[in-house]
Amino acid sequence: MFATLSDRLTATFKNLRSKGRLSEADIDATVREIRRALLDADVAVSVVRAFTGKVRERALSEEVSGALNPAQQVVKIVNDELVAVLGGEQRPLLFAKTPPTVILLAGLQGAGKTTLAGKLARHLREQGHTPLLVAADLQRPNAVTQLQVVGERAGVPVFAPHPGAQESSEGGVVVAPAADPVAVAREGLATAQARQHDVLIVDTAGRLGVDAEMMQQAADIRDAVRPDEVLFVIDAMIGQDAVATAQAFADGVGFTGVVLSKLDGDARGGAALSVASVTGRPILFASTGEKLTDFEVFHPDRMASRILDMGDVLSLIEQAEKAFDARQAEEMADKLASGEGFTLEDFLVQMQGLRQMGSMKKMLTMMPGMGQMREAIENFDEREVDRIEAIIRSMTPAERRNPKIINGSRRSRIARGSGTTATDINQLLERFTAAQKMMKQMSRGGGVPGMPGLGNLPGMGGKKSRGRAAPQPRKGKKGRSGNPAKRAQQEREAQLRAEGRAPGGSAFGLGGNEQAEVDPAKLELPPGMEKFLGR
C-alpha cells in the first residue's frame, strides 16, 4: 500500500547523501518533497502540516548541523516523526480483570468487520484464550451466515440465535422477525459467562455511510454489554474520507482503538497515517490479506521502517518462530554439527516451513532495501515453491538422501511425476548443491560462511584467482642477495646462527656478537615488576 510513498521518500533522501553539509535551502527542498509525497498519499492536510513543521524544526537544529552524516540524521528525524504520527508505542489489548473481556467491533459496511472478527478470534485463540463470537449484525443479508463460516474456519464458536436478514428467492431482503441486535449482544454476554469464555467479540452492523440510526444502535449495544475495548474497523483504502468517518464514530460511539483492514491494497494509504493522529486513538491491529492468517499486531516503529524501506526484520523473525518448530530446528542444528550433512529431505522440511510463514512476496518486502527490487518481487512466481516441492516429492527416499545417484533415466521419471522438465530438475539440484556446500561450511566453522575462521564462499576465490597469483613468502631461509658483499655478510650470519650465536647484535640493541650480561639488581624497575625476574 505504501509503495508509492516509500519510493518518493527514498528518492528524496538519496539526493541528500551526496552532501556533506546541509544548508537551509537543502532542508527546505527536502521538506517540500516530503509534503508533496504525503499529500499525494491522501494523508490529512492537518497531519501533513504538523508533520513537516516538526521535521523542519528538528532538521534546522543543532542535532543535524553538528552531525557527522546529516543525511542519515534527517532520515532518523523523519522516522521518529512517522512513528509519532502512527501512534508512538504499540499498545496491546486491555483485558478485563474478571472475564469475559468484551470487544465490540464498529465501522462502516464493507470495512471488513465480519472477516476481521474471525481473524481476531483466531489470533486470541492461538494465545491461549477461549473467545466467543456474537452475530449482532442482523441487517446485512447473510451476515450471520458469513460469521458462522468464518468462525468455523477459525476454530471459534459463534453465538447466533437469530438468522438475521436473508436474501429471498425473488432477490429481495427478508428481515427475520424479532431481530433485536441489542438483545442478541446481551444474550451473548450471558452465554460467554455461562460457558466460561474469557473473550467475547461482538460483530455489529454497518452502513454505507454515517447516519444517526447506525450510531444509536452501536451506542445501545455498547451500553448493553459495556465493552472493555471498542475497536473501530476502518478500510485503509478510503483515503481522505477516513478522517471524517473516524471522527464521527469517535463523537457518536467512542472507541478505544483502531483496526486497519485491507492494508494489502494498492491505494495510497493515507488513512493509516491520519487516523491515529486525528483521533488520538492507537492502531492496535492490521489486516493484510484475505486469509485468516493475514492479521498482525500493529507496531508503529515497524510500519515506519517499512515506509522508509528499512525493512521489518523483527516481524519476519516472529513469523519464522511461529512457522518453524523449535524441536525440528534443534534436530537440524545437531545434524549439521555431527557432520551428517544437509539432504533434500531437510530441504523439503525447510520449504514447508516457508510456506507456513505466508506469502514469499510479503516476506521479501520485509527485508531492508527491497524497495529497489519491487518490480522483481512483484514478478516473483509463488508457484515456484510448489514446483520445487513437487519435484522433491517425486523422488525416492534414497534419491532425496543422495542426489548424486540421479542419472538420466531417474531424472526423466522425476520430471514425469512432478509435471516439470529435466531442466527444472537440473536447476534445483544445482541450487541444492550450493546450499549443501554452505551448510557444510557452517557446520565446520560454527557460523556463517565467509566470516573469520571459515573457508571462502563459492566465487570468493581460494584455489584459483584472476590474473597472476600473489607471491607466496618463502619458508625456512631468505633469498640470497645479488650484491657480492651483502651475500658474503648473509653467509657469515647464517654460519653464526648455525653455531648458536646471535649475528650482529641483539634485537634489544645490546650490541656485539655475544649477548651482554645484564645484572637484574642494577635495573630500575617499577614497583611490583621484580617478581617477573624470578627474585
Which residues contribute to the annotated binding site for GTP? 107-114, 203-207, 261-264
Q: How far apart are CA 366 and CA 32, in angstroms?
A: 28
Phi, psi of 361 (to 5 degrees): -60, -45
Query: What is each CA distance from 364 to 7, 284, 306, 369, 380, in whole angstroms?
Result: 16, 24, 12, 10, 10
Please name the amino acid found at residue 284: L
Q: How far apart are CA 142 and CA 280, in angstroms?
A: 34
Q: How far apart are CA 32 and CA 52, in angstroms?
A: 8
C-beta separation of 388 from 344 below 8 A: no
Q: How far apart are CA 262 and CA 266, in angstroms?
A: 9
**Cell numbers 501533513 correspond to what residue?**
48
Task: Count CA atoms closer than 13 A to 236's CA, side-chain side.
Answer: 24
C-alpha cell read off for 431: 541450487
Query: What is each CA distance from 47 to 2, 43, 528, in whole angstroms?
Result: 17, 7, 69
Instruction: Mark the binding-site residues, compressed into ranges.
Output: 107-114, 203-207, 261-264
DSSP label at 93?
A: P
Q: How far apart are CA 156 and CA 352, in angstroms?
A: 26
Nearest to 144 by CA among 156, 155, 131, 133: 133
Nearest to 204 by CA among 114, 111, 265, 267: 114
Do the strands 158-159 and 166-167 form a parallel or antiparallel pair, or are they unpaired? unpaired
DSSP label at 264?
A: T
Q: How far apart are CA 271 and CA 485, in angstroms?
A: 87
**Cell numbers 477516513 correspond to what residue?**
242
In total, the chain counts a number of residues equal to 535
Q: How far apart are CA 404 and CA 418, in angstroms?
A: 19
Please name the amino acid found at residue 367: M
3-state helix, strand, coil in the chain (%, to 5): 50, 10, 40
